[in-house]
Amino acid sequence: MFRLLEDDRGRMESTVTIEIDGYPVIARIGETVASALLREGASWSRTTPVSGARRAPYCMMGVCFDCLMLVEGEGLVRACQTLVRAGLKVQRQTGPRKVGPSC
């Protein structure tokens, strides 16, 4: 849905690779997981626990909680408040999250 500007600031910035649902995604250092996600073809972040509907980041400022994703196995993390770092593993949060010995 979004693309990066090719301005002089952009050229100075370096990138890292994160993983969303196992796929590599290139992100700029200093940006959030949600902002990287919004450049992907499938830009949804979670499905709701009630009806299973898809949601995507909505407010980007931490007040809607629609960007909840699993970050390094941690649930209920707002992707719009989480900075990227090399190798960060992120998963879309589908339904209520699982708890148990394997998590």
22: which 2 tokens?
A: 């196992």
With CB under 6 A as the rule, give the number of residues binding ligand FES: 13
Q: Looking at beta carbons only, is 25 or 57 nearer to ligand FES?
A: 57
Q: Does 16 bind ligand FES (CB under 6 A)?
A: no
Binding mask 42-81 for ligand FES (x = CB under 6 A): ---------------xxxx-xxxxxx----------x-x-
Q: Which of 24, 62, 85, 86 binds another protein (CB under 8 A)?
A: 62
Give the Cα separation of 11 and 98 in Å (integer): 41
- Exposed e or buried b per residue across 7-28, where buried means at least 16 C-beta atoms within 10 angstroms of its C-beta: eeeeeeeeebebebeeeebebe
Decide the pairing of beta strands 68-71 and 46-47.
Answer: unpaired
Q: Does 68 bind another protein (CB under 8 A)?
A: yes
Give the Cα separation of 95 and 3 in Å (integer): 29
Q: Does 94 bind another protein (CB under 8 A)?
A: no
The option from ligand FES, another protein, none interacting with 24 (CB < 5 to 8 A, set by class) reads: none
